Amino acid sequence: MAETNLQVLLRRRPKGEPVPEDFEIVETPVPEPKEGEVLVRAGYLSLDPYMRGRMAEAKSYAKPVELGAVMEGRTAGEVVASRAPGFAPGDTVAGGYGWQRFSVVKAAGLIKVDSQEAPLSANLGVLGMPGLTAWVGLEDIGTPKPGETMVVSAASGAVGQVVGQIGKLRGCKVIGIAGGPEKCRYVTEELGFDACLDHRGDLDAQLDAACPEGIDVYWENVGGAVQAAVFPRFRDFGRMVMCGVISQYNVAEGADSFGGAPGPNLGPVVRKRLRIQGFIVSDNGWPRYPAFRKQMLGWMAEGRMVWKEDVVQGLRNAPQAFIGLLKGRNFGKLVVQVD
């Protein structure tokens, strides 16, 4: 029997938390590449929090996924057919598109990866967009210096685990924040952070104990109550790297509001000369990818960068896995092994 494409489509826009009925799984013919394009069979699909934004119609930095279209996403896999110079069947690549088994993509968006250098799935995490996000955000905004105190929320996750390890490589005291004792144990014992605080407990008391000196760099992945606890503890000239606010993604429906929660008093930004800056990795990250990849592969080879993946089996399970990501059910970088 001829192979088919398996696709996960956006059936309707979620209200609050996404539910399985917001997605539709269909089988379609395998597409054919045109001139300059490559047909990629996905080995792994990356599931990332930004996809919640693509499901909503609200104005954002990127267009929403159309209703009935394939959910947006990045895959790593194998070239099946190529009509572009530089790519041949059997090549392993990152940059396939969408929650689907087969995708046709322009060669310009593909990165050839060496499966001897790192496992294929790592190209979606520590060596992929989340790793690049950590690296770019620290270089441009966090600028950690030896002896400084850095706090990282969602510390066991795809971005957080890399941020904290780079912080340690830069000579900082690094405090993670994560949900639950198992994640916290991983963050200290495997990732080498100095401490990890459980945001399900009394975060104020834990922050008082872990960093009485205050905070120089806060890597914000979560927002909401976690941000409210961290913010008053900034030292003079502190930097808050606004990477994401996942606790608000199902609440605020894209509006620039606080999702009903009271916002922080921003007065101390002046008195303490704080820098708060948001960024999107795609703004200026990808042209720097070769430099990032070289440094990251070096750290990995030296055993100075470790990472954890949460691998879900089967593309049909992608919707449930994504719903879980927005509730903290993943432990490490969430990827789907497609077949």
Ligand X SMILES: NC(=O)c1ccc[n+]([C@@H]2O[C@H](COP(=O)([O-])OP(=O)(O)OC[C@H]3O[C@@H](n4cnc5c(N)ncnc54)[C@H](OP(=O)(O)O)[C@@H]3O)[C@@H](O)[C@H]2O)c1
Contact set with ligand X (CB under 6 A): 48-50, 130, 133, 154, 156-160, 178-179, 183, 199, 221-222, 226, 243-244, 246-247, 279-281, 325-328, 330, 333-334
Residue 189 Cβ vs ligand X, minimum distance, rounded to whole Å = 15
Q: CB 314 → ligand X: shortest distance, Å?
A: 20
Of 88 and 255, nearer to ligand X (C-beta) is 255
User: Measured at CB, which residue is nearest to ligand X?
Assistant: 157
Task: Pick between residue 104 and residue 246 the one whose CB is nearest to ligand X.
Answer: 246
Instruction: Compare residues 78 and 253 and give the one whose CB is closer to ligand X.
Output: 253
For the bound state, the minimum distance from the C-beta of residue 14 to ligand X, rounded and expressed in Å, comes to 15
Task: CB nearer to ligand X: give 166 or 226.
Answer: 226
Question: Cβ closer to ligand X: 130 or 142?
Answer: 130
**Cβ closest to ligand X, residue 195 vs residue 222:** 222
Please report how close the Cβ of residue 232 comes to ligand X at its closest, in angstroms: 18
As measured in angstroms, the least distance from the Cβ of 334 to ligand X is: 6
Residue 226 CB, nearest approach to ligand X (Å)? 6
3-state secondary structure the chain: CCCEEEEEEECCCCCCCCCHHHEEEEEEECCCCCCCEEEEEEEEEECCCHHHHHCCCCCCCCCCCCCCCECCCEEEEEEEEECCCCCCCCCEEEEEECCECEEEEEHHHCEECCCCCCCHHHHHCCCCHHHHHHHHHHHHHHCCCCCCEEEEECCCCHHHHHHHHHHHHCCCEEEEEECCHHHHHHHHHCCCCCEEEECCCCHHHHHHHHCCCCEEEEEECCCHHHHHHHHHHEEEEEEEEECCCHHHCCCCCCCCCCCCCCCCCCCHHHHCCCEEEECCHHHHCHHHHHHHHHHHHHHHHCCCCCCCEEEEECHHHHHHHHHHHCCCCCCCEEEEECC
